[in-house]
Amino acid sequence: MEQTKFLLAEEEIPKAWYNIQADLPTPLDPPLNPATKEPIGPEALAPIFPMELIKQEVSRERWIPIPEEVRDVYRLWRPTPLYRARRLEKALKTPAKIYYKWEGVSPPGSHKPNTAVAQAYYNMKEGVTRLTTETGAGQWGSALAFGTLLFGLKCTIYMVKVSYEQKPYRRILMETWGAECIPSPSERTQYGRRVLQDDPKCPGSLGIAISEAIEDAATHEDTKYSLGSVLNHVLLHQTVVGLEAKKQLEVIGDYPDVVFGCVGGGSNFSGLVFPFLADKLTGKKPELRAVSCEPKACPTLTKGPYMYDFGDAAATTPLLKMYTLGHTFVPPPIHSGGLRYHGDAPLLCKLTHEGYMEAAAYHQNEVFKAAQIFAQAEGFVVAPETAHAVKGVIDEALRCKKTGEAKVILFNNSGHGHFDLRAYEEYLTGKLIDYEYPAELVKEALAKVPKV
């Protein structure tokens, strides 16, 4: 019988994270001071991040050792299994081989604790007693609630209001692990109150929630801020996914022709693809394709300009070079709450801009159709965010069916959809809305982006 699931032993959990900055052809554009437009130094980040994470943010060392205390927690669910999607291949009648890395086995149910555990550890080591963060769909919030619990920290989470209302079970999960979960925009912060004054029915956005979490951290001495995507150190921690997948495929004797992942900020896809992209950057696998899959309602990589912008709605972060729809843009209330972000990770954006990666965008209904096809073939009900990658994979597999190419396709199956069944219900009953690209709102938001 042909093997379907490929496992590694606990001792094969990576001992170091891979830092792609070491292999970039040209250095990453630095973050800028919004007032002076000059590059900022590490000291500017010290009020909200612990020093060890700041060092990782700017490091160009290829390998960053993973602390043994972090690897010990990883053992609860890592290494994660790699699956060959044989039933999906058969259903699609494709000659392609489809593999997926299944990150839904973690306690919070997604890839997010790979960095949440690391960030909680480094903050604990530097004497921090509370972390604040934002969350969209709740995957990141629940992961940080889990991570802070393990290292004895308090946790305050600002959850995008529309997701707070759509996904109550994520909130309950956070609260079960001892975290405080607040719908954003809220009355808790000065910025939240300002947003509500202007628009009492504001559905919220990741940009707004980030602003609230940063304000909370900056105004309390015992508190630091924690981010679940976008920044370099977050993508770094996620490379455990790709490093494990690479080792698993080596054992099988395969190597991907094309890699897919959903992208909102960029952490899960970057974590899978960066260890493979290292081979493309160094000339070993020049033909490797990497495809980011995003929603058409928030098409940052496919419709946004590549420029400097703030990472949050209140314009409190440094300016980051990225594809952006404008930091004040509030996306339509799609069910893929984790993909409702106006920008993307600077590292992922740079590699996309320079042609090493590409992007595709999809509507909600076609994404959920792909997720249903996957569920009826493989059994797993995936998160709406992950379903974007599934859509890209199915399209590629069907192209292979037409051309007869036996490509090797890999994707990051980044989380389960057990808390997203209301979204599936809306799809199954024909109530799911395909939001069009809000061009005028994006144009209005981009007009407010600083000129650099």
In a domain, 85, yes or no: yes
pTM recorded for the entire structure: 0.96
In a domain, 423, yes or no: yes
In a domain, 15, yes or no: no
Q: Which residue(s) pair with 65 in the sheet?
A: 16
The domain in which residue 415 lies consists of 67-109+238-446
299: domain CATH number is 3.40.50.1100
Please give the pLDDT value at position 43.
83
102/119 Cα distance (integer angstroms): 22
Q: To which residue do tokens 């007869």 refer?
A: 404
In a domain, 329, yes or no: yes
Q: What is the largest CA-CA distance in the chain?
A: 64
pLDDT tens digits, the chain, 452 residues: what are they? 789 999 999 999 999 999 999 999 999 999 999 999 999 988 888 888 999 999 999 999 999 999 999 999 999 999 999 999 999 999 999 999 999 999 999 999 999 999 999 999 999 999 999 999 999 888 999 999 999 999 999 999 999 998 899 888 999 999 999 999 999 999 999 999 999 999 999 999 888 998 999 999 999 999 999 999 999 999 999 999 999 999 999 999 999 999 999 999 999 999 999 999 999 999 999 999 999 999 999 999 999 999 999 988 888 889 999 999 999 988 888 777 678 789 999 999 999 999 999 999 999 999 999 999 999 999 999 999 999 999 999 999 999 999 999 999 999 999 999 999 999 999 999 999 999 888 898 999 999 999 99
Q: Structural domain tally of the chain? A: 1
Please give the pLDDT value at position 337.
65
Check if the beta carbon of residue 244 is closer than 8 Å to that of residue 78. yes
Check if the beta carbon of residue 167 is closer than 8 Å to that of residue 134. no
In a domain, 168, yes or no: no
Q: Which residue(s) pair with 100 in the sheet?
A: 83, 411
Q: Which residues contact 177 (CB under 8 A, 6 or more apart)?
A: 142, 145, 146, 148, 149, 155
The alpha carbons of the chain give a radius of gyration, in whole angstroms, of 20
Q: Which residues contact 364 (CB under 8 A, 6 or more apart)?
A: 295, 297, 334, 335, 336, 384, 427, 432, 433, 434, 435
Check if the beta carbon of residue 21 is closer than 8 Å to that of residue 347. yes
In a domain, 259, yes or no: yes
In a domain, 58, yes or no: no
Please give the pLDDT value at position 287.
97
In a domain, 37, yes or no: no
Please give the pLDDT value at position 333.
80
